[in-house]
Amino acid sequence: MKSKIFFNFLYLFLLLGSCKPAIKNIKPKLVVGIVIDQMRYDYLTKFADRYGKKGFNRILQGGFSLENAHYNLIPTYTAVGHASIYTGTTPSEHGIISNDWYDKYNKKSVYCVYDNACSTLGNDGLNGKKSPKKLVTSTITDQLHLAQNMHGKTIGISIKDRAAILPAGHTANAAYWYDGKNYNTWISSTFYMNKLPQWVTDFNSNNKADNYLNSPWETLYEIDSYENSRSDDNIFEEKLIGQKSPTFPKDLKSLRSKNNNFDLLKTVPAGNTFTVDFAKAAIIGEQLGKSKYTDFLAVSFSSTDYIGHKYGVSAIETEDTYLKLDNDLANFFQFLDRQIGKDNYTLFLTADHAAVHTPAYLQSLKIPAHYLNPERLKNFLSKMTKKYFNSIDLIENISNYQIFLSKEKVESLGLDVHTVAQKLADEVINFDQIYKAVTAKTLQTSHFSSGILNSLQNGYNQKLSGDVLLIPNPATLIRGRKGTSHGSGYSYDTHVPVIFYGAGIKQGVSTKRYHITDIAPTIANLLRIEAPNGTNGIIIDEALSK
């Protein structure tokens, strides 16, 4: 009898021990992807004590934050960043190698989302001739549609066309972007539909943009309290056309006519507020989060980038923009709570790239920084081809820190393309602002497992990229001495926020190094769907509650 009881207990123990815990089926009604254009990671920490409790701090405290997330690719531009976030891979696979690039087959520059086969919806202009056709891999938004047999809705929204189109993917119900100047309309493309929905037409009929531009840009708080930033009047910032100095307040009403009218809205914090207005209208108009399927809303805030370019990392304008964006996010999150339900949505927040401090400002502090003159570089390379190959016609194009050789000219002179490319790579590092140079052949035949050359390799696309790829010195820009830019593989451009929040997300922080390409597979795992077809990122398992 005792032995029978013992074996019964043993059987029960083994049975229970063999049972694996059930996987928690997290199925949010809505996934919201938020990308903040040109947001450095340190904007989270630098302005932390000035943010409220309901914006950035809400998702930082209630979600999972990656404190050491980076782009592992070059170049760090808007189109590349958005494509990499949503595909889970780099330009080597997804094919978006820059915002614009030289098409070596058709011998012309091309724009990442231009599509002549499409027409504009929303006005009679040409800015709707856009589509994601140059993106050659699928996105997480595509995969969600495939997993649900094309049910559910995907909407992409941004002031910039490329920031709306690339995240929304190929199967999107719609992507919308803002056409300013004298149009003042949110537009789309016939790639997605034949007619704008009524809710978009209604939104375009309101006077919100006018209202925003008829109010001055004044700081949220007393200007003397902006101790994280440089003085208001300094030599490192650009001015709006018509301004005597780059200072507050900025009288937008009187300046708009000299600054492309409604385009001025893109370059002030109200552009972010306007984007939230449209995102809320989309959620209501499309009834996102109301069906039995999971919907996806991709929202990108672009005004942060326009403002960053004009004023730089350390400007009061930049700080004020993020303080106001914090309020916009708080407003948006509260709207999601009411409209979708606090436990019914998942979101992630990140950036498409960061930015460098204005090099002229760094130089004033005796920190190494540089400006590269493209014409000087071109002349230098012409001298090299003349010296070693007795020709100044071997280079067809120089752009995006890439050299494209004229294959026809090289071959007509009986030269070998790889020999010419290698000679240029060897010689161009003697140019002042060029730090490293690698040929396409080297990138095809060698593997760089880490560091900036690994990022260069991840950004190299054998079909589309040039014959020699260049890396400038740290803190080097091609532009004037005011404002800033981005594009490099250095940490000031690669280190960005990544925060997950909502249904299926743990509360916590990680200091492990993750890559931007890890977002898409993580969201795919959360949704229990296949990751995008080019994905090479990893699942951030510690962020998920299972």
Asked if residue 127 lies in contact with residue 179, where contact means CB atoms within 8 angstroms, the answer is yes
| HEC per residue, 260-317 | CHHHHHHHCCHHHHHHHHHHHHHHHHCCCCCCCCCEEEEEEECHHHHHHHHHCCCCHH
Give the 3-state secondary structure of residue 3: helix
Torsion angle defined by CA atoms of residues 393, 394, 396 and 402, in that order, rounded to the nearest 10 degrees: -140
> Is residue 78 annotated as a catalytic residue, yes or no?
yes
Give the 3-state secondary structure of residue 178: strand
**CA–CA gap between residue 10 and residue 8 (Å, rounded):** 5
**CA–CA gap between residue 382 and residue 399 (Å, rounded):** 15
The token duo for 78 is 């808007």
**CA–CA gap between residue 76 and residue 11 (Å, rounded):** 59
DSSP, res 132: S
- Bridge-based pairing of strands 295-301 and 30-36 is parallel
Asked if residue 358 lies in contact with residue 480, where contact means CB atoms within 8 angstroms, the answer is no
- Bridge-based pairing of strands 402-405 and 395-399 is antiparallel
**Residue carrying structure tokens 């049972």:** 19
DSSP, res 250: B
Whole-number CA gyration radius for the chain: 25
Give the 3-state secondary structure of residue 469: strand
**Maximum separation of any 2 CA atoms in the chain, in Å:** 101
The token duo for 173 is 């119900």
**CA–CA gap between residue 538 and residue 544 (Å, rounded):** 13
Signed CA dihedral, 424, 425, 429, 434: sign only: positive
Catalytic residue selected from 76, 78, 273, 494? 78
DSSP, res 532: P
> Catalytic residue positions?
78
